[in-house]
Structure 1
Amino acid sequence: MELRVSIQTAPFDMAHGYASVLDERTDIGAVVSFTGLVRDFNETPDVIGLTLEHYPGMTERTLEAIGREAGERWALNAVTIVHRVGELAPGDPIVRVLVASAHRRDAFLACDFIMDYLKTQAPFWKKERSAQGDYWVKERDSDQQDAGRWS
Protein backbone atom coordinates (compact mmCIF):
# COMPACT_ATOMS: atom_id res chain seq x y z
CA MET A 1 0.00 0.00 0.00
CA GLU A 2 1.25 3.45 -0.90
CA LEU A 3 0.98 5.92 2.01
CA ARG A 4 1.44 9.69 1.81
CA VAL A 5 1.19 12.06 4.77
CA SER A 6 1.61 15.83 4.67
CA ILE A 7 1.33 18.48 7.37
CA GLN A 8 1.32 21.94 5.81
CA THR A 9 0.38 25.55 6.30
CA ALA A 10 -0.38 26.12 2.62
CA PRO A 11 -3.90 25.64 1.30
CA PHE A 12 -4.57 22.61 -0.85
CA ASP A 13 -6.76 22.32 -3.91
CA MET A 14 -10.03 20.43 -3.33
CA ALA A 15 -8.94 17.99 -6.06
CA HIS A 16 -5.63 17.50 -4.23
CA GLY A 17 -4.22 14.03 -4.47
CA TYR A 18 -6.50 12.34 -7.00
CA ALA A 19 -3.96 12.37 -9.82
CA SER A 20 -1.17 11.08 -7.59
CA VAL A 21 -3.39 8.36 -6.10
CA LEU A 22 -4.55 7.10 -9.50
CA ASP A 23 -1.24 7.62 -11.35
CA GLU A 24 -2.49 5.63 -14.36
CA ARG A 25 -3.17 2.56 -12.18
CA THR A 26 -5.79 0.08 -13.33
CA ASP A 27 -6.05 -1.90 -10.07
CA ILE A 28 -8.05 0.85 -8.31
CA GLY A 29 -11.82 0.48 -8.43
CA ALA A 30 -12.73 3.17 -5.90
CA VAL A 31 -11.35 6.36 -4.40
CA VAL A 32 -13.16 7.68 -1.35
CA SER A 33 -12.31 11.13 -0.09
CA PHE A 34 -13.10 13.27 2.91
CA THR A 35 -12.42 16.99 3.14
CA GLY A 36 -12.93 18.75 6.46
CA LEU A 37 -13.61 22.48 6.44
CA VAL A 38 -13.38 25.16 9.13
CA ARG A 39 -16.92 26.03 10.28
CA ASP A 40 -18.09 29.45 11.45
CA PHE A 41 -19.60 27.87 14.57
CA ASN A 42 -18.48 25.35 17.16
CA GLU A 43 -18.42 26.00 20.92
CA THR A 44 -19.63 29.52 20.08
CA PRO A 45 -21.93 30.50 17.21
CA ASP A 46 -19.55 33.09 15.76
CA VAL A 47 -16.17 31.52 15.01
CA ILE A 48 -14.08 33.97 12.99
CA GLY A 49 -10.95 31.83 12.73
CA LEU A 50 -8.76 29.26 14.35
CA THR A 51 -5.15 28.44 14.99
CA LEU A 52 -4.23 24.80 14.60
CA GLU A 53 -1.07 23.65 16.37
CA HIS A 54 0.62 20.27 16.27
CA TYR A 55 3.59 18.36 17.60
CA PRO A 56 6.04 18.21 14.63
CA GLY A 57 7.47 14.78 13.97
CA MET A 58 5.03 13.05 16.30
CA THR A 59 2.07 14.20 14.23
CA GLU A 60 3.46 12.74 11.01
CA ARG A 61 4.36 9.46 12.74
CA THR A 62 0.87 9.22 14.25
CA LEU A 63 -0.85 9.84 10.91
CA GLU A 64 1.43 7.30 9.23
CA ALA A 65 0.56 4.73 11.93
CA ILE A 66 -3.16 5.39 11.43
CA GLY A 67 -2.78 4.96 7.67
CA ARG A 68 -0.81 1.72 8.11
CA GLU A 69 -3.42 0.36 10.53
CA ALA A 70 -6.15 1.09 7.97
CA GLY A 71 -4.07 -0.83 5.42
CA GLU A 72 -3.86 -3.80 7.79
CA ARG A 73 -7.63 -3.83 8.35
CA TRP A 74 -8.74 -3.38 4.72
CA ALA A 75 -7.36 -4.15 1.26
CA LEU A 76 -6.10 -0.72 0.23
CA ASN A 77 -3.98 0.43 -2.69
CA ALA A 78 -3.17 3.94 -1.48
CA VAL A 79 -3.87 6.36 1.38
CA THR A 80 -3.18 10.09 1.34
CA ILE A 81 -3.64 12.25 4.45
CA VAL A 82 -3.09 16.02 4.21
CA HIS A 83 -3.65 18.18 7.29
CA ARG A 84 -3.17 21.91 7.58
CA VAL A 85 -1.81 23.80 10.57
CA GLY A 86 -1.49 27.49 11.34
CA GLU A 87 -4.05 30.25 10.89
CA LEU A 88 -7.30 29.25 9.19
CA ALA A 89 -10.58 30.99 8.44
CA PRO A 90 -14.15 29.67 8.13
CA GLY A 91 -14.54 27.85 4.84
CA ASP A 92 -10.86 26.90 4.59
CA PRO A 93 -10.12 23.22 3.95
CA ILE A 94 -8.33 21.79 6.98
CA VAL A 95 -7.95 18.05 6.29
CA ARG A 96 -8.06 15.83 3.21
CA VAL A 97 -8.11 12.03 3.25
CA LEU A 98 -8.11 9.93 0.08
CA VAL A 99 -8.37 6.16 0.19
CA ALA A 100 -7.97 4.01 -2.92
CA SER A 101 -8.96 0.38 -3.10
CA ALA A 102 -10.05 -2.24 -5.59
CA HIS A 103 -13.48 -2.22 -3.93
CA ARG A 104 -15.67 0.63 -2.62
CA ARG A 105 -16.58 -0.94 0.74
CA ASP A 106 -12.93 -1.15 1.86
CA ALA A 107 -12.32 2.44 0.74
CA PHE A 108 -15.41 3.79 2.57
CA LEU A 109 -14.67 1.94 5.81
CA ALA A 110 -10.99 2.84 5.80
CA CYS A 111 -11.69 6.54 5.20
CA ASP A 112 -14.19 6.61 8.08
CA PHE A 113 -11.72 4.79 10.35
CA ILE A 114 -8.87 7.16 9.46
CA MET A 115 -10.93 10.24 10.32
CA ASP A 116 -12.17 8.75 13.60
CA TYR A 117 -8.63 7.91 14.68
CA LEU A 118 -7.20 11.18 13.39
CA LYS A 119 -9.73 13.12 15.51
CA THR A 120 -8.87 11.18 18.68
CA GLN A 121 -5.19 10.19 18.38
CA ALA A 122 -3.33 12.79 16.35
CA PRO A 123 -1.56 15.52 18.35
CA PHE A 124 -3.39 18.59 17.05
CA TRP A 125 -4.73 21.46 19.17
CA LYS A 126 -7.31 23.97 17.97
CA LYS A 127 -7.69 27.47 19.35
CA GLU A 128 -10.79 29.19 18.00
CA ARG A 129 -11.31 32.92 17.77
CA SER A 130 -14.76 34.43 18.29
CA ALA A 131 -16.34 37.75 19.29
CA GLN A 132 -16.36 36.44 22.88
CA GLY A 133 -12.60 35.78 22.78
CA ASP A 134 -10.21 32.93 22.09
CA TYR A 135 -10.60 29.44 23.54
CA TRP A 136 -9.06 25.99 23.13
CA VAL A 137 -11.45 23.47 21.58
CA LYS A 138 -12.27 20.64 23.95
CA GLU A 139 -12.29 16.97 23.08
CA ARG A 140 -15.77 15.67 22.28
CA ASP A 141 -17.22 12.53 23.80
CA SER A 142 -18.83 11.76 20.44
CA ASP A 143 -15.40 11.61 18.78
CA GLN A 144 -14.24 9.05 21.33
CA GLN A 145 -17.45 7.03 20.84
CA ASP A 146 -16.97 7.07 17.07
CA ALA A 147 -13.39 5.83 17.42
CA GLY A 148 -14.55 3.15 19.87
CA ARG A 149 -16.54 1.48 17.07
CA TRP A 150 -13.31 0.15 15.62
CA SER A 151 -12.07 -1.67 18.76
Structure 2
Amino acid sequence: MKDISYTDWELTSAQIRTVIKLRKLYSNYPYALGTKDVMKMLGVGRATVLNLKNCGMLRHYNLGNHLIYPKEWVLEYLAVYAVSDKPNVRDYQREVLRYCRTRRTITEIAQHLNLGAGFCRDYLLKPLCEHGELICEADKREVKRHCYKAVR
Protein backbone atom coordinates (compact mmCIF):
# COMPACT_ATOMS: atom_id res chain seq x y z
CA MET A 1 0.00 0.00 0.00
CA LYS A 2 1.28 3.45 -0.93
CA ASP A 3 2.34 5.80 1.89
CA ILE A 4 -0.61 8.18 2.45
CA SER A 5 1.62 11.21 2.99
CA TYR A 6 2.95 10.78 -0.57
CA THR A 7 1.33 13.08 -3.08
CA ASP A 8 1.20 12.96 -6.87
CA TRP A 9 0.34 16.66 -6.95
CA GLU A 10 2.89 19.42 -6.93
CA LEU A 11 1.64 21.51 -4.01
CA THR A 12 2.60 25.16 -3.71
CA SER A 13 3.90 26.45 -0.41
CA ALA A 14 0.54 28.16 0.22
CA GLN A 15 -1.27 24.86 -0.40
CA ILE A 16 1.11 23.03 1.96
CA ARG A 17 0.38 25.61 4.66
CA THR A 18 -3.34 25.09 4.00
CA VAL A 19 -2.96 21.31 4.41
CA ILE A 20 -1.19 21.85 7.75
CA LYS A 21 -4.05 24.08 8.96
CA LEU A 22 -6.62 21.58 7.74
CA ARG A 23 -4.87 18.72 9.56
CA LYS A 24 -5.50 20.56 12.84
CA LEU A 25 -9.08 21.37 11.89
CA TYR A 26 -9.93 17.76 10.97
CA SER A 27 -7.75 16.02 13.58
CA ASN A 28 -10.77 14.20 15.05
CA TYR A 29 -11.43 12.31 11.78
CA PRO A 30 -9.90 8.83 11.26
CA TYR A 31 -7.00 8.34 8.83
CA ALA A 32 -9.11 6.22 6.47
CA LEU A 33 -12.46 7.75 5.57
CA GLY A 34 -15.59 6.27 4.08
CA THR A 35 -17.90 8.11 1.71
CA LYS A 36 -20.11 9.34 4.58
CA ASP A 37 -17.09 10.78 6.39
CA VAL A 38 -15.99 12.62 3.25
CA MET A 39 -19.54 13.93 2.73
CA LYS A 40 -19.52 15.31 6.28
CA MET A 41 -16.02 16.76 5.90
CA LEU A 42 -16.74 18.54 2.62
CA GLY A 43 -20.34 19.44 3.43
CA VAL A 44 -21.62 17.92 0.19
CA GLY A 45 -23.88 15.05 -0.82
CA ARG A 46 -23.01 11.51 -1.88
CA ALA A 47 -23.40 12.27 -5.59
CA THR A 48 -20.88 15.12 -5.35
CA VAL A 49 -18.32 12.92 -3.58
CA LEU A 50 -18.75 10.21 -6.21
CA ASN A 51 -18.50 12.78 -9.03
CA LEU A 52 -15.26 14.14 -7.53
CA LYS A 53 -13.95 10.58 -7.29
CA ASN A 54 -14.98 9.69 -10.84
CA CYS A 55 -13.39 12.77 -12.42
CA GLY A 56 -10.11 12.13 -10.55
CA MET A 57 -10.22 15.17 -8.28
CA LEU A 58 -10.64 13.08 -5.13
CA ARG A 59 -8.23 10.14 -4.95
CA HIS A 60 -9.28 6.90 -3.29
CA TYR A 61 -8.66 3.17 -2.88
CA ASN A 62 -11.11 0.44 -3.84
CA LEU A 63 -11.20 -2.17 -1.11
CA GLY A 64 -13.64 -4.76 -2.34
CA ASN A 65 -16.99 -2.99 -2.48
CA HIS A 66 -15.78 -0.17 -0.24
CA LEU A 67 -14.27 3.14 -1.20
CA ILE A 68 -11.51 4.29 1.13
CA TYR A 69 -10.37 7.91 1.10
CA PRO A 70 -7.16 8.52 3.05
CA LYS A 71 -7.71 11.67 5.11
CA GLU A 72 -4.45 13.16 3.82
CA TRP A 73 -5.73 12.91 0.24
CA VAL A 74 -9.02 14.60 1.16
CA LEU A 75 -7.05 17.42 2.80
CA GLU A 76 -4.92 17.75 -0.34
CA TYR A 77 -8.11 17.96 -2.42
CA LEU A 78 -9.35 20.76 -0.17
CA ALA A 79 -6.04 22.61 -0.44
CA VAL A 80 -5.75 22.26 -4.22
CA TYR A 81 -9.33 22.63 -5.40
CA ALA A 82 -11.51 24.06 -2.66
CA VAL A 83 -9.54 26.43 -0.42
CA SER A 84 -6.51 28.07 -1.99
CA ASP A 85 -6.37 29.96 -5.28
CA LYS A 86 -10.14 29.82 -5.64
CA PRO A 87 -11.37 32.31 -8.23
CA ASN A 88 -14.02 34.76 -7.12
CA VAL A 89 -17.27 35.58 -8.89
CA ARG A 90 -15.77 38.56 -10.74
CA ASP A 91 -13.02 36.33 -12.18
CA TYR A 92 -15.72 33.98 -13.50
CA GLN A 93 -17.66 36.93 -14.90
CA ARG A 94 -14.57 38.15 -16.80
CA GLU A 95 -14.16 34.67 -18.26
CA VAL A 96 -17.85 34.63 -19.27
CA LEU A 97 -17.42 37.95 -21.10
CA ARG A 98 -14.31 36.66 -22.87
CA TYR A 99 -15.99 33.35 -23.79
CA CYS A 100 -19.23 34.99 -24.96
CA ARG A 101 -17.70 37.05 -27.77
CA THR A 102 -19.82 34.76 -29.92
CA ARG A 103 -23.33 33.60 -28.95
CA ARG A 104 -23.28 30.89 -26.29
CA THR A 105 -25.96 28.94 -24.45
CA ILE A 106 -26.03 28.63 -20.68
CA THR A 107 -25.07 24.95 -21.03
CA GLU A 108 -21.98 25.82 -23.08
CA ILE A 109 -20.97 28.50 -20.57
CA ALA A 110 -21.46 26.19 -17.56
CA GLN A 111 -19.45 23.41 -19.21
CA HIS A 112 -16.68 25.82 -20.17
CA LEU A 113 -16.39 27.07 -16.58
CA ASN A 114 -16.97 23.61 -15.07
CA LEU A 115 -19.81 25.03 -12.95
CA GLY A 116 -23.48 24.27 -12.51
CA ALA A 117 -25.98 25.95 -14.83
CA GLY A 118 -27.99 27.36 -11.91
CA PHE A 119 -24.92 29.00 -10.37
CA CYS A 120 -23.97 30.46 -13.77
CA ARG A 121 -27.46 31.84 -14.35
CA ASP A 122 -27.95 33.37 -10.88
CA TYR A 123 -24.49 34.64 -10.00
CA LEU A 124 -22.77 35.26 -13.32
CA LEU A 125 -25.17 35.80 -16.22
CA LYS A 126 -28.02 37.63 -14.48
CA PRO A 127 -25.78 40.33 -12.89
CA LEU A 128 -23.86 40.78 -16.16
CA CYS A 129 -27.14 41.27 -18.04
CA GLU A 130 -28.42 43.73 -15.41
CA HIS A 131 -25.22 45.80 -15.75
CA GLY A 132 -25.51 45.80 -19.55
CA GLU A 133 -22.29 43.85 -20.11
CA LEU A 134 -24.08 40.82 -21.56
CA ILE A 135 -27.10 40.51 -23.85
CA CYS A 136 -29.60 37.69 -23.41
CA GLU A 137 -31.44 36.66 -26.59
CA ALA A 138 -34.00 33.94 -27.20
CA ASP A 139 -32.77 31.32 -29.65
CA LYS A 140 -34.72 31.62 -32.92
CA ARG A 141 -34.90 27.84 -33.30
CA GLU A 142 -35.95 27.13 -29.68
CA VAL A 143 -37.80 29.91 -27.88
CA LYS A 144 -37.18 28.40 -24.40
CA ARG A 145 -33.44 28.37 -25.01
CA HIS A 146 -31.48 31.56 -24.38
CA CYS A 147 -28.17 32.62 -25.83
CA TYR A 148 -25.77 35.15 -24.35
CA LYS A 149 -23.40 37.52 -26.13
CA ALA A 150 -20.97 40.01 -24.65
CA VAL A 151 -21.48 43.70 -25.40
CA ARG A 152 -18.29 45.15 -26.89
Calculate the TM-score normalised by the size of structure 2.
0.25
Calculate the TM-score normalised by the size of structure 1.
0.25
Tell me which of the two structures has the higher relative contact order, counting C-alpha pairs closer than 8 angstroms and 6 or more residues apart. 1
**Which has the larger share of helix?**
2
**Which has the larger share of strand?**
1
